[in-house]
């Protein structure tokens, strides 16, 4: 009876998940929200409201009134704006003037996987599902500005905030970002895409001035933001803490006025990062629209109700009253804030949303499963064959440590979090004996801003005793699953700090090396949002990149390890063997000094650097294995040459020649072998994820135009595609090219 009920429940869950995924696909095909008011009508409403506002009401609307809100105008029925972190789940409520918890009992969310995991799915439907689900949670909590997603480029594996971003490639980030934005905003919740721009390290983020050439800026660090504006229709953009051209990016003339608003035609609201404003006159003239933060006026920490002293508050009003500045900039700012209100809080057709539902949990699990990357599987230890496995040893602190709490502003109060150990135990119940040993002692704390995990990880044993226990357990097991990596502690994967080393903390490298000696059936699961060194890589048969997987972490991971799910994730950044295999570190250009950093590697970020310098990566960009095998055919082009205003289409056949169903990410790279400027060997310009049954084959098609062939000419301030020979390369990763063909640009 119990078994029949379990099977029935599984069937219902499967049907529910199928409906959810189908909904995500449908939204991806028809992403325009049906409830959105006509743009012309909104402009008319904005102008009407603007005429009715007093000067003080206008000033009040463009700065915060609490940690996370700004005032509306009650007299006119204009609601307040309520922002929320973060990009991976809706942050719990804090007190009005403090970071301390407000003590709500109904603000525990579903924690979705970190954005590194979402990007690793290489699946635009998953990005739509993610955005739709997260937008529903934000809407239910009556938030109208979601502070995310983060899309800063992965320049160095030491950036502590990389786990919140989408990797090293601007094309991949752009394509995964757009459906996320549309999924969120169809709920009447604005995305606030961050951090614009060049926020690629944490340590000196408030003081460092980034020196980068225009070509690198436009080719690497701006494309995803441009896609957010022109393809995603983002309603808000957040400035970054750092400086560029000597101005803080939250009040940066070049970035905000010249590029964002003039070049790209951005009509939305520019929001400051919290505490990112430093000057009233720059805030007035240089493109900022709304000021948020803590004590951004320089008052001592903890002073209550300091908001009227913010740079865009009384100081701005005083300048207007003194006749030193006009109201032209103010009216532009207020127009944008009003437009945001009419798209969100004042839209009568805005849906109601939903919060912490089973549907959202299933969506979170599906995204986590698709993002997990199988890095290595030489002895086919994975998937674990439970028919031949009596005892499984699970070793490592990350098998039990909660990862939804901590890491900075994306820290969450999750309704629940299934640990890897619990997920494995649940999956193999009555099929295998699970024995756990800690193996190493890392961070035993578990709280952030008053949110506490409730875990007691204190352990008085010495590291030698803990390791000895783990090795003894491993010797007796049929299979060993080591679950380690990084956590969200300072100087690991955490906001406000950069890592100090590529190595794993807490002496994990030594432990993994010893485990490999006592049991050859060893699986290493690396939980992190960053690349790590793996000096033991040749001694370990199976390696999995696990990311920070959210509420459903344990279930998702167990599903992949036991073979219920065929892994299909691919890396979104390069794993270097050593730090100096990365361009920024090879040139001693990370993190720079307290006041300056120069991006000496230019456009050669990630795989672009590795390709150019013929460096063999530990694991390359785009890499990810499967439990089945895919065969690629020849790539063909529909024409031999194209003109500047033409398009060209490439096709390749991919076949599943293995024994089980699986998904493969087919990647298109474009190469310009001969150019007047130094260009990367190849650059990603297309990708598609295809699902194939055993023996099934599908034709994958890519169509590109001049933009895929172009580089940014700084002198002309324009994109240029030089006539000549190009190559289209089809690969399973940036280092595994399966087929290529040449073509001409006339």
Annotated catalytic residues are 273
Identify the three-state secondary structure at position 610.
helix
User: 146 has which bridge partners?
Assistant: 84, 191
Parallel, antiparallel or unpaired: strands 479-485 and 736-745: unpaired
Q: Are 340 and 347 in contact (CB under 8 A)?
A: no
For tokens 């992190």, name the residue: 528
Please name the residues in contact with 103: beta carbons below 8 A apart, sequence gap of 6 or more: none
Spatial separation of the C-alpha atoms in residues 302 and 311, rounded to whole Å? 17
Which sign, positive or negative, has the C-alpha torsion 618, 602, 687, 260? positive
Tokens describing residue 61: 């609307």
- The H-or-E segment that residue 374 falls in is strand 373-377
Which helix (H) or strand (E) segment holds residue 385: the answer is: none
Neighbour-count burial for 482-494, b at 16+ CB within 10 Å, e otherwise: bbbbbbbbbbbbb
The burial of 232, by beta-carbon neighbours within 10 Å (0-12 exposed, 13-18 middle, 19 or more buried), is given as buried
Contacts of 190 (CB under 8 A, 6+ apart): 144, 145, 146, 184, 234, 235, 236, 268, 269, 340, 343, 344
Please, are residues 164 and 150 in contact by the beta-carbon 8 Å criterion?
Answer: yes
- In angstroms, the CA 282 to CA 249 distance is 10
Place of tokens 């690198």: 216
Give the span between the Cα atoms of 724 and 728, in whole angstroms. Answer: 13
Distances (CA, A) of 112 to 153, 216, 358, 404: 21, 32, 13, 9
φ, ψ (nearest 5 deg) of residue 442:
-110, -115
CB 21 within 8 A of CB 183: no
On whether the CB atoms of residues 156 and 590 are closer than 8 A, the answer is yes
For residues 219 and 215, what is the distance between their CA atoms, to the nearest angstrom? Answer: 6
- The torsion defined by the Cα of 186, 191, 197 and 199, in degrees rounded to 10, comes to -130
Quote the strand ranges of 585-696, DSSP E.
596-598, 630-637, 641-642, 647-656, 662-671, 683-692
Report which DSSP code applies to 263.
Answer: I
Give backbone dihedrals phi and psi of 24, rounded to 5 degrees, phi first: -60, -40
Cα torsion 186, 187, 188, 194: sign: negative
Q: How far apart, in whole angstroms, are the C-alpha atoms of residue 688 and residue 734?
A: 14
Distance CA 429, CA 47 (A): 64
Bridge partners of 698, per DSSP, are 654
What is the residue whose two structure tokens read 């991949």? 172
> What are φ and ψ of residue 520, in 5° steps?
-80, -15
Close Cβ partners of 51 (under 8 Å, ≥ 6 residues apart): none
């Amino acid at each position: 009876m119990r078994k029949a009920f379990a099977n029935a429940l599984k069937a219902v869950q499967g049907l529910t998940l199928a409906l959810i995924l189908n909904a995500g696909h449908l939204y991806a095909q028809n992403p325009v929200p049906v409830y959105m008011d006509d743009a012309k009508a909104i402009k008319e409403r904005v102008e009407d409201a603007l005429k009715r506002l007093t000067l003080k009401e206008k000033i009040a609307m463009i700065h915060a009134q609490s940690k996370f809100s700004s005032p509306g105008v009650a007299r006119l029925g204009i609601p307040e704006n309520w922002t929320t972190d973060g990009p991976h789940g809706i942050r719990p409520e804090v007190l009005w003037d403090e970071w301390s918890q407000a003590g709500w009992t109904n603000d525990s969310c579903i924690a979705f996987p970190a954005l590194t995991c979402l990007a690793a799915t290489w699946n635009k439907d998953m990005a739509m599902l993610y955005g739709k689900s997260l937008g529903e949670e934000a809407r239910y909590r009556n938030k109208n500005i979601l502070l995310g997603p983060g899309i800063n480029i992965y320049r160095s594996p030491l950036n502590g905030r990389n786990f919140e971003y989408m990797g090293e490639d601007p094309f991949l980030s752009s394509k995964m970002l757009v459906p996320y934005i549309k999924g969120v905003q169809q709920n009447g919740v604005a995305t606030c895409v961050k951090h614009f721009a060049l926020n690629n390290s944490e340590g000196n983020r408030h003081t460092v001035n980034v020196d980068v050439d225009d070509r690198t800026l436009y080719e690497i660090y701006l494309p995803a933001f441009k896609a957010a504006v022109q393809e995603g229709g983002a309603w808000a953009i957040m400035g970054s803490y750092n400086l560029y051209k000597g101005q803080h990016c939250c009040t940066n003339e070049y970035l905000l006025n010249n590029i964002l608003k003039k070049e790209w035609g951005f009509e939305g609201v520019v929001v400051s990062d919290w505490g990112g404003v430093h000057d009233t006159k720059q805030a007035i003239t240089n493109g900022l629209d709304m000021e948020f933060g803590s004590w951004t006026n320089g008052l001592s920490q903890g002073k209550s109700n300091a908001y009227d002293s913010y740079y865009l508050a009384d100081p701005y009003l005083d300048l207007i009253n003194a006749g030193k500045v006009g109201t032209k900039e103010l009216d532009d700012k207020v127009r944008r804030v009003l437009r945001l209100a009419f798209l969100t809080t004042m839209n009568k057709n805005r849906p109601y949303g939903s919060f912490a539902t089973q549907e959202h949990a299933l969506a979170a699990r599906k995204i986590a499963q698709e993002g997990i990357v199988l890095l290595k599987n030489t002895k086919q230890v994975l998937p674990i064959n439970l028919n031949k496995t009596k005892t499984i040893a699970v070793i490592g602190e990350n098998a039990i440590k909660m990862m939804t709490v901590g890491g900075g502003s994306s820290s969450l109060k999750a309704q629940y979090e299934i640990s890897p150990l619990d997920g494995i135990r649940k999956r193999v119940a009555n099929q295998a004996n699970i024995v756990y040993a800690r193996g190493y002692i890392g961070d035993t704390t578990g709280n952030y801003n008053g949110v506490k995990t409730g875990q007691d990880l204190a352990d008085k044993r010495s590291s030698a005793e803990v390791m000895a226990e783990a090795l003894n357990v491993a010797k007796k097991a049929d299979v060993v699953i080591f679950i380690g990596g990084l956590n969200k502690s300072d100087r690991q994967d955490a906001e406000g700090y950069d890592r100090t080393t590529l190595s794993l903390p807490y002496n994990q490298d030594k432990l993994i090396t010893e485990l490999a000696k006592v049991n050859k059936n060893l699986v290493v699961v690396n939980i992190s949002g960053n690349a790590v060194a793996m000096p033991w890589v040749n001694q370990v048969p199976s390696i999995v990149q696990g990311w920070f997987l959210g509420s459903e972490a344990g279930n998702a991971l167990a599903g992949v390890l036991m073979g219920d799910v065929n892994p299909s994730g691919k890396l979104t950044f390069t794993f270097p063997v050593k730090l100096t295999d990365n361009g920024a570190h090879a040139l001693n250009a990370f993190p720079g000094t307290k006041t300056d950093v120069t991006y000496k590697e230019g456009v050669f970020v990630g795989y672009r650097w590795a390709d150019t310098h013929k460096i063999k990566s530990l694991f390359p960009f785009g890499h990810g294995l499967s439990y089945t095998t895919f065969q690629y055919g020849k790539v063909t082009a529909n024409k031999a040459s194209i003109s500047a205003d033409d398009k060209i289409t490439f096709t390749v056949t991919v076949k599943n020649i293995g024994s089980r169903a699986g998904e493969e990410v087919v990647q298109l790279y474009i190469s310009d072998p001969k150019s007047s400027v130094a260009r990367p060997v190849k650059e990603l310009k297309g990708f598609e994820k295809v699902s194939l049954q055993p023996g099934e084959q599908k034709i994958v098609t890519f169509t590109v135009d001049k933009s895929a062939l172009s580089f940014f000419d700084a002198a002309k301030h324009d994109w240029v595609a030089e006539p000549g020979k190009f190559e289209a390369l089809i690969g399973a990763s940036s280092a595994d090219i399966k087929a290529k063909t040449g073509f001409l640009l006339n």
